[in-house]
Structure 1
Amino acid sequence: MPTFHVPTVLLPALACVLAASVAACSPRPGASPPPSETAPVASEPARPEAPPPPELRLPETVRPTAYDVALTVVPTEDRFEGHITIALDVAASSRIVWLHALGLDVRTATIDGAPAKVHSTGSGGRIGLEPARPLSVGRATVVIDYTGAISPKNEFGVFKQKEGEHWYAFTQLEAIDARRAFPCFDEPGFKVPWKLRLKVKKDDRALSNTPPISEKIEGDYKIVQFAETKPLPAYLVAFAVGPMDVVDAGTAGKNHTPVRIVVPRGRGAEARFAKEVTGKILAQLEDYFGIPYPYEKLDCVDIPVFSGAMENPGLVTFGQSLILSVPEKETVRFRHQYIDITAHELGHQWFGDLVTTAWWDDVWLNEAFASWITNRLIETWQPERHKDTERAADTARAMRADSLVSARRIRQPIATEDDIGNAFDHITYEKGAAVIDMFENWVGRDAFRAGVTRYLTKHAHKNATAEQFLAVVFEGERAPVGAAFETFLNQPGVPLVTASLRCDAGQPPKLALAQSRYLPAGAQAPETSWQIPVCARYPGAKGVASSCTLLQKPRGELTLGEARACPAWVSANADGHGYYRVLYQGDLLAKLLAPRSGDAELTRAEKVALLSDLAALVRTSKLSYQDVLAVVPKLAGDPVKDVVEGTIELVADLRSTEMVPEALRPQYARFIRDTYGARAKKLGFVSRRGDSDDTRLLRAKLLLLVADQGEDRALQSEAKALASKWLADRKGVDPDVVETVLAISAQTGDRAWFERMRAALRATTSRFERNQILGALAHFRDPDALRAALAVNLTDDADIRDSLWTIKSAQATPATRAIAYAFMKESFEALAARMPDEAGAFGFGAAAPALAGGGFCDEAHAADLEAFFRERAARYSGGRRSLAQVVESVKGCSAFRALQAPNVGAFFQKR
C-alpha cells in the first residue's frame, strides 16, 4: 500500500463489442455520455423481487478461478474500453452472481454465452448478474463488455497524468479500487491467475505485472499480450501506459531477475540512485527469506504525482519524489527514503503478494511485516544507518498514536468499507512492526527467521490468516508465544510497566514489575492487560547482562540472575525492543541518566526509548516537565542523531502546546540557544568532507530549531542570504539544507519575500524545486504573507495534491494556527472541489481536521472542530474516525497543558 499520503472513447460497432479480444476494437475520438455508477445500459431495471446485494463481503458460493482481460487504454482519452472473461467455480446453486464494479458502464454481460440481466446497486460498488435460470453447481463463464473512466484527477483506479508534453496512464487498485478497472471479485481472498492484453498507441509503452509474450501492430495501435500471472488478488493487478523511458538496472537474485527503472520520457538520468541499489535490496531480501523473488521481473515505475508507493508484483509504483533525483542534488534524506520505501515494497513481494491476507482485518500481515523487514534488512546490510535507533523512534510514533482511547487495534474487525481505509495507519504499520520486533527478540532471531520461512513456504501463492501465521511461526515448544502475541493484536493501547529494584540480602536482585494501560491526562479507558515480554539489561559478573520474563499478570518479577550485587543501573527495556513504556521507581531513573562510559552505557536504542517514555510520562501526573527539562542538556549533546531529536521533541513541544507564557518566551529562546546553539553553529549550513549521514540529517533540524524557536538572529540572517542565493540561481547551497534555509527565510519574511518565492514557484518547470518552495510557504509568520501562502492552494500555481500539506506547517505557532484554521473553514468546499475524489483514509475529507486543527490545545477548539467537521467529515471515507482522533488529541493536549504548564513556568522562572 502507499507507504504512504491525486485520466474517452466510445464503444465501437456491435461486432467489436461481441469480439473475444479487444484487439479487434479501435478507439474513436469523442466523449461518451457520463456513465452512471455501474449502471447497466442494455437491461431493464432490476426486478422488485431480486435478492438484495451483499452489504460488505461477497458470497463464497461463487468464486473466480481465472480472469482474462482485454483493455484499450489511451492516456489522452477520458475513458478506456474493457472486455473481461471470468471463469467461475459454483459451489451451490445461485440465482445471481454478485461481483464488484464501480464507475463502470456495463454494456453487455453473458453467463455461459447467454445474456444475463444486470442488477446495479448504484454507488454501492456491486453488480449482480442474473441468468435466465439459476446456475448449477460446477463451472461457469462470465463475459462482460464495459467502459470506465481514466481520471485526470485521482490517484486510484485508472488515472492519467501529464508530465512535460506527454500523458501517461497508471493504476492504483489497493485497497478496493480494482472494481474501478474491472468487474471482478475485489476482495483479497479471491486470489487467482490473470491474463491481460493492452491495446495502446503504437508509440506508447505498455507495462503490467508480467513480461509481454507477444506484440502486434494494428494501424496506429499495438496489442500487447502479457504472460499469465501467478495467483493474485484483484488489487495487485497493475498496468502503466505512455511514452516511458526504461533504465536497465541489470539482474538480481538467484533467478537473475531483470530489474528496470521506468520513468517519464527524458528523465532517465534522475534514476541513478534507484538503478544502483534496487537490485541489491532484492538480493538482501532473498537471502533473509531463503526464497527466491517469486516473480518474473521487477519494474519500478515513477508516477509523477502519487502519495507513496505500491507493491504490485513485478510493477512496483513510486511517487516521483521518492524515486527520482537530479544526481548533483541528491540528499541523504532522499537516499535513505528510497532504500526504506523500496525495502518495504519489495518486502511485500513475499508478505502480501506471495502470501496474501485472507481479509482486510489481517492487513498487518502485509504492512507490519513489510515495515519490520525494512528495519531488519537495513540493520544488517547498512549498519552505519543505525537502524536500531530509527526502529525505536518508529515505535515511539506508534505509541503516540496508540495512546488515544479511540485508537484501533492492529487486528481491527472490518464492519464497513470505511474500516478498510482506516486499516492503513500508524497502528498497522508501526505498532505492528514494533510488536513483531518484540516477539522476534523474545524467541530469538534465528528461530523467528526459520518460522517466517516456514510460513511463506507453506502458504505460497495462497491466502493466510493471523491464526495460520502464529501457528506456523510459533510452533512446537514456542506455541504459547502465539497467545501472548494475540494480546497485542486484538486490543488497543500501550502497556505501562512500572519497575522497581529489590535487593534483598542473600537473594539475587529482582525487578518488581506491574502493568497497566498507559493513559495521558484526561483520558479514561477500561483496564487492559497483556502478556508482555519484558527484558532488562544491567551490569553482570562478565559485563553487561540481560534477563527476560513474560509478564502475564498485573504483577510479576524479573530475576537479574547474572548480577553479582545490587546493580548500579537497570534498563527495563533492553535495547528498546519492548512495545511498552517504563515508569522507573525510586532512584532507577537517576541512575540510568548518570554519566558512565564504555559497555556500561545505555545502548543507542535504549536512549531513544527512554526519551520517548519521558515525553509520554509528562503527559501524566507521574513525572514533572520540570524534571524532564533538567535532563535535556545532558542528552542534547549526544552523538546519536535520534537521541538529540528526542530531546528536540521535548523542547519543541513546549511551543506547539502553548506551554510557555508570553512573558517567559525570551527565557525559552535562550534555553534553546544555550542547549543547542553552539552545536548548530559548529555544524553550519555547509557540509564538510567526512560528515556522516547522521550529521547531515541532524544539521538541518538543529539549525531550524535554533534559528526559529531559539530566535538566533545570526542564523536567521545567514539563512535569508542563502535562500536569496538559491532563488536566484539554484546553486551554491548544500542540497541537504535547501528546504531548511527556505523555511527559516519564510519565518522572518514579509509579503514582499512571499511574492519573490511565489515568482520562483511560477517560473520553475522542475516538480522537485516546486515542492521545495511549497514546503517553505506555510512557514511565514507575517499574517499577510501567510494568508497569501495558504491561498496558493486555491490557484493553479501548484498541484493542490502537492501544496495542500503545507497547511499543516502553519500549525507551528498559536497565531499561525488560527490563520490556517480560519482559511480551512472559509475555503473547505473550494479545496474539496480541487482535490481528487475520495478513496480510503488518504482523502482530503479525512485529513482536513488534522491538517487545519490538529495543533490546537484547548477545549474550545476541540468543540469547534467537532462542530465544523461533524457533517463534513462524515461525507468521506475514514472521516469520522479521523475527526474523533483529532478532537480527542486536542482535548488531551488541553489536559496536558493544565497539568504541566505550572511546572514549565517554574523551570523558566528559575532561568
Structure 2
Amino acid sequence: MKRLLSWVSCMFMLVANVASAEDVDYRLPGAVKPTFQQIHLNIDPDQPGYSGETVIELNITEPVTKVGFYQMDIQVTNAELRQGNRIYPLRITEGDYNINWGHSSATVPVGTYELAISFEGKVNTSSDGMYLSSFEGRNYIFTQFEDMHARKAFPSFDEPAFKIPYQMTITTPEKQVVASNTPVEKRTVEDGMQTVTFMKTKPMPTYLIAYTVGPFDSVEMEGLSVPGKLYVPKGYADKTKFIVKHTPEILESLENFFGIDYPYRKLDFVAVPNFTHGAMENAGLITYRDSLLLLEDEPGLAERSAPLEVVAHELAHQWYGNLVTMAWWDDLWLNEAFASWMASYVMMELYPELNFKDRIIQEGAFGADASPTVKPVKKVVRSQPDVMDGLGLNYSKGESILQMIESLIGTENFRKGVQAYMKKHAWGNTQADDLWAALDEVSDFNLSKMMKGYLEQPGYPLLDIDGDGTIAQKRFHLAGADVKEQTWAVPLNISYKKNGKIHREIVFVDKKSTRLPQLAEAEWVFPNDNATGYFRWSIPAAQMDNLLADLDVLNNREKKNVLYNMQALLNGGEAGIDSVMKVLNAMAADDDPVVIRASVGTLAGFLYLVNDDNEAQFAELLNEKYMPLLEKLTLTQSDDDDESVIRLRTQLYSLLGRHSDNAELVKKSKALAEQYLADTGSMPNGIARTALNVTTMGPDADPAWFDRIMKVFADSKLPNVKNTLLYSMGYEDPAMIDKLLDLALTDNVTPANTILMLASVTRNLDDQTPY
C-alpha cells in the first residue's frame, strides 16, 4: 500500500501528462488542479432536499482571477478560496458544459489553496446523480455518477483525469444504514442523528464515488481477500447465497490474471431496486440491479450466466477503469470493452458448463455497425450525450476487437501485455494508445496501426476472396446503402484446403486488393479460424459447396460463423436466399445443440418477412421441421441437461409457441402456465415466459389471467420472477393493453419493470392495433 504522499506526487505527474496541450472550452483549464476533496452531506431519505459543504484542496500553477468547477441543478450558497488566513470571496456565474466560475475581485497568485463551497439540492428520482428509490414503502438513497453525474450531487472537478483522494462524511437519521467507497473511520450520534466519516479513498475520479443511505439488511461476503458485505433492501438477505458463494472465486481469478491484488480496502455490493442501469463499478461499493444479486439459492444453468458475468465485469473494472483510468470520456469504450472481454475470460475459466467459448461476441455488434450512419468508436466527446452516443455498440465492438487481438498474439502474451500496462500506469490515467503500445511489446504485429482503422473509421470490412487467391476489401453495408470507400489492416487466421490437405496461417490484408498465391485453386478457404475476426467474408460458390461438405473440420464457433456470415451477405445484397437455405440445410445434419440454436436463430431472423399471406406456410414449416425436435427435447428440464440444451429448448419453444399455431402446444402451454403460477420454482423462467405468453396471446385469451399473474407478481420476492411475469403477457386486445399501460403508471411497478412491460406491449402489437 502506497503512502498518501506517494499517491499525491504520482497524481500531480499523471494529471500534468494527460491534460490537454491546450485548454478546450468543454474542459476545465489546466492551471487549477485539485489534489484532495472532502465532502459532507446532510441527507435524510425521507426528505426531498439535502445540503452539503465541500472543501477542495487546489494547486494553482499560474495567477488566475477565476476558478472553475462543475455543478448541475445545485444551488451554491457560498464559495470562497482560502490560503491560511487569506480569504478570496467568489462570485459564481454559470458557463457552458455545467462549468461554474468562481470569480475573485483580486488576482489569486500561484500556490496551494482550499476551495470551500456550501450548497443545497434536491434528491432526484431518476437513476443518475444522487437519487431516491422507494421500495416496498421504504426510501433509499443511491448514487450513479458515471459518466458526468457527480456534478448533480456536489460541486467537483468532474473529469476522469482529475484522479485524487476523497473523504466522505454523511449526516443522516440514526436509524439509517450508511455505506460508501471506504470503511467507516468515525461515527458519532447526537439528537437522533448520526454523522459517519469514511476513510480517505485512494486516488480516483469523481465518477467512482458512491454512497448509499437507507434501511438496508446486509450479509457478510466471506472468503474474499478483503472484507466485504452485500447490502440488500430490508427483508431480502436470504436471496444472496448464490452471489456470496461465487464472488470469492471470481475475485481470485481476476487477481491471478492481473498479477495485482484487489486494490481497495473493502469490497461491498449493493442490490438496487428501480435501477435502470445493469451495474456500476464504484470503487469498493459496486451497485447492481437487484435482479442480478437477489436469486434462488441455486439458479438453473441458463439463469446463472447473466449474474456471474456482470459480477465478473464489474470486478474487472476495479483494475481496468479504476486502478488505471481513462484520461477522458472518448476512451470509455475501452473501459467497457476490456471489462467485457475479461468477464468472458473468467466465465470460460471458472464456468465451462455455461458454454461461453461458443459465444460469438461480434454478432452483437455487426448489425448496428453495418449502418451507413454509424459513427467511429473513437470520436470527440464534449458532453454527456456524446459519451452515450453509440456506447452500447461499442461494448460489443470493443470486446470483439480485443478478442481479435488476443487470438492474434495468444492469450498468454495478451495477459503479459496487460499486466505490464497495469503496473506501469497504476493509480494513473491513460489513453487507448498506451494499451496498444504495451501489447506491441509482447507481439510481432503492429497493433497500433491495426487499431487505427478499426477505431477511427466506422463500420468493418467485407473481404471478397476469389478463386485465384485475390482478396478485395470494402466496407460492409446493408443492401442499398451508400458508403465511402475504406480499408483496414485486417488480421486473418486463415485455413484453406488444397490438394486434399488443410493448411493454416496468419496473414495481414491492408490494401484494397491483395493477392495470396497460396490460395489459388484451393478447394475451399475459411478466413476466420475460431470465428474471432471482426469482418464479413465471401468465397466463390464452388468453394462454399466444398466447405459445406467438409463441415466436420470446423468447430461450433466456425460453423456458426459460416451461417451468420451467409445471412449477413444476404442482408448486404451480396448473396441470395438460396445460398442461406443451402447453408441451413447443410447444418441440419449437425446434432450439436449449439449449432442447431444458430440455425433456429437464423430462421427466426426471417420473421420480418412473415405476413398474413404466408404465415400459414411458415407455421407449416415450423411444425414439419422443428416441432419433432421440440417434442424430442420435451418442455421439461432434466437434471442432466447441458446449458446448450436448455437454451435450445427455450429458443425453440419461444419460436414455435408464438408462430406454429399448434393447438397441442397451446394446450401444453396453458398447463405449464398453471404450474408456474402455482410454483415459480418449478421450471426455468425462459420456459415460463413463453408458456404465459402463449396462454395470454390471441383473440381468445382469457382476461382473468392478468389478475392471476399480477397476484403472483405481488407475492414474489425474486426480481427475476417479477421480470418474467411482466414480460410474458401476450395480450393483443386493446382493452387489455390499456390495462397493462395503466398498471405501468402505478407505484406497484418500478421504473425498471415499466420498461419490461412496454417491451412486452410493443412486441404484441401489429400494424392493425390502434396505438
Using the size of structure 1 for normalisation, the TM-score is 0.78
Q: What aligned pairs does 1:550-569 form with structure 2 within 5 A after superposition?
A: 550-558=508-516, 568-569=523-524
Residue number among 621, 624, 640 corresponding to 1:674 in the alignment: 624
> Which position in structure 1 is the counterpart of 2:3?
none
Pair 216,446 (structure 1): closer, same or farther in 2 beyond 3 Å: same
**Structure 2: which amino acid aligns with 1:62?**
V
1:52-71 Cα offsets, whole Å, 9 max, x none, are x9742111121111101111
Residue number among 772, 793, 801 corresponding to 2:744 in the alignment: 793
Alpha carbons 1:707, 1:713 under 8 Å: kept: no
Pair 269,559 (structure 1): closer, same or farther in 2 beyond 3 Å: farther
2:231 and 2:706 map into 1 onto residues whose CA distance is 37
1:371 and 1:341 map into 2 onto residues whose CA distance is 9
Unpaired stretches in structure 1, ≥5 consecutive residues: 1-52, 503-510, 824-911
1:235 and 1:61 map into 2 onto residues whose CA distance is 22
Residue number among 63, 86, 91 corresponding to 1:93 in the alignment: 63
Alpha-carbon shift at residue 134 of structure 1 (Å): 2.0
Alpha carbons 1:166, 1:243 under 8 Å: kept: yes
> Which position in structure 2 is the counterpart of 1:182?
154
1:143-171 Cα offsets, whole Å, 9 max, x none, are 111122222x2111111223334322111
Q: What aligned pairs does 1:118-267 form with structure 2 within 5 A after superposition?
A: 118-121=91-94, 125-151=98-124, 153-252=125-224, 256-267=225-236
State yes or no: 1:339 paired with 2:339.
no
Alpha carbons 1:484, 1:531 under 8 Å: kept: yes
> Which position in structure 2 is the counterpart of 1:451?
417
SS in 2 for 1:570: strand
Alpha carbons 1:684, 1:703 under 8 Å: kept: no
State yes or no: 1:652 paired with 2:612.
no
> Which position in structure 2 is the counterpart of 1:605?
557
1:568-595 Cα offsets, whole Å, 9 max, x none, are 5432111001000111223222222225
State yes or no: 1:486 paired with 2:452.
yes
**Structure 2: which amino acid aligns with 1:580?**
F
Alpha carbons 2:494, 2:525 under 8 Å: kept: yes
1:756 and 1:588 map into 2 onto residues whose CA distance is 58
Pair 376,762 (structure 1): closer, same or farther in 2 beyond 3 Å: closer
Percent identical: 28
Residue number among 437, 440, 459 corresponding to 2:406 in the alignment: 440
State yes or no: 1:288 paired with 2:257.
yes
1:731 and 1:291 map into 2 onto residues whose CA distance is 40
> Which position in structure 2 is the counterpart of 1:533?
491
1:218 and 1:381 map into 2 onto residues whose CA distance is 49
SS in 2 for 1:413: coil
1:576-634 Cα offsets, whole Å, 9 max, x none, are 0100011122322222222554xx2x111112222221221111322112331343244
Higher alpha-carbon deviation: 603-612 or 300-309 = 603-612
1:464 and 1:566 map into 2 onto residues whose CA distance is 47
Alpha carbons 1:305, 1:319 under 8 Å: kept: yes
1:661 and 1:186 map into 2 onto residues whose CA distance is 52
Alpha carbons 1:271, 1:323 under 8 Å: kept: yes
Alpha-carbon shift at residue 791 of structure 1 (Å): 4.2
> Which position in structure 1 is the counterpart of 2:504?
546
Alpha carbons 1:500, 1:586 under 8 Å: kept: no
1:376-424 Cα offsets, whole Å, 9 max, x none, are 222222223221222x1x2111011101112121112214432112252
Alpha-carbon shift at residue 736 of structure 1 (Å): 4.7
2:356 and 2:684 map into 1 onto residues whose CA distance is 25
Residue number among 364, 370, 376 corresponding to 1:403 in the alignment: 370
Pair 712,638 (structure 1): closer, same or farther in 2 beyond 3 Å: farther
Pair 160,287 (structure 1): closer, same or farther in 2 beyond 3 Å: same
State yes or no: 1:104 paired with 2:54.
no
1:218 and 1:62 map into 2 onto residues whose CA distance is 38
Higher alpha-carbon deviation: 159-168 or 529-538 = 159-168
State yes or no: 1:808 paired with 2:750.
no
Q: What aligned pairs does 1:461-540 form with structure 2 within 5 A after superposition?
A: 461-475=427-441, 478=444, 480-502=446-468, 511-538=469-496
1:242 and 1:155 map into 2 onto residues whose CA distance is 16
State yes or no: 1:590 paired with 2:542.
no
1:271-290 Cα offsets, whole Å, 9 max, x none, are 01100111111110111111
Alpha carbons 1:194, 1:228 under 8 Å: kept: yes
2:741 and 2:191 map into 1 onto residues whose CA distance is 49
Pair 577,695 (structure 1): closer, same or farther in 2 beyond 3 Å: same
State yes or no: 1:278 paired with 2:247.
yes
Alpha carbons 1:102, 1:124 under 8 Å: kept: no
Alpha carbons 1:269, 1:326 under 8 Å: kept: no
**Structure 2: which amino acid aligns with 1:63?**
K
2:555 and 2:229 map into 1 onto residues whose CA distance is 40
Q: What aligned pairs does 1:571-650 form with structure 2 within 5 A after superposition?
A: 571-594=526-549, 596-597=551-552, 600=553, 602-636=554-588, 638-650=590-602
Alpha carbons 2:41, 2:169 under 8 Å: kept: yes
Alpha carbons 1:471, 1:479 under 8 Å: kept: no
Residue number among 78, 92, 95 corresponding to 2:48 in the alignment: 78
Pair 539,296 (structure 1): closer, same or farther in 2 beyond 3 Å: farther
Pair 235,437 (structure 1): closer, same or farther in 2 beyond 3 Å: same
> Which position in structure 2 is the counterpart of 1:387?
356
Pair 124,759 (structure 1): closer, same or farther in 2 beyond 3 Å: same
Pair 721,584 (structure 1): closer, same or farther in 2 beyond 3 Å: same
Pair 361,735 (structure 1): closer, same or farther in 2 beyond 3 Å: closer
1:138 and 1:765 map into 2 onto residues whose CA distance is 60
Alpha carbons 2:163, 2:203 under 8 Å: kept: yes
Pair 302,694 (structure 1): closer, same or farther in 2 beyond 3 Å: same
Pair 402,216 (structure 1): closer, same or farther in 2 beyond 3 Å: same
Unpaired stretches in structure 2, ≥5 consecutive residues: 1-22
2:516 and 2:405 map into 1 onto residues whose CA distance is 17
Pair 543,88 (structure 1): closer, same or farther in 2 beyond 3 Å: farther
Higher alpha-carbon deviation: 243-252 or 347-356 = 243-252
Question: RMSD of aligned C-alpha atoms?
Answer: 2.5
1:269 and 1:464 map into 2 onto residues whose CA distance is 41
SS in 2 for 1:183: coil
Pair 593,370 (structure 1): closer, same or farther in 2 beyond 3 Å: same
> Which position in structure 2 is the counterpart of 1:505?
none
Alpha carbons 1:216, 1:223 under 8 Å: kept: yes
Pair 733,485 (structure 1): closer, same or farther in 2 beyond 3 Å: closer
Pair 685,189 (structure 1): closer, same or farther in 2 beyond 3 Å: same
Alpha-carbon shift at residue 476 of structure 1 (Å): 7.4
2:763 and 2:548 map into 1 onto residues whose CA distance is 31
Task: Kindly tell me the number of residue pairs found equivalent between the two proteins.
Answer: 743
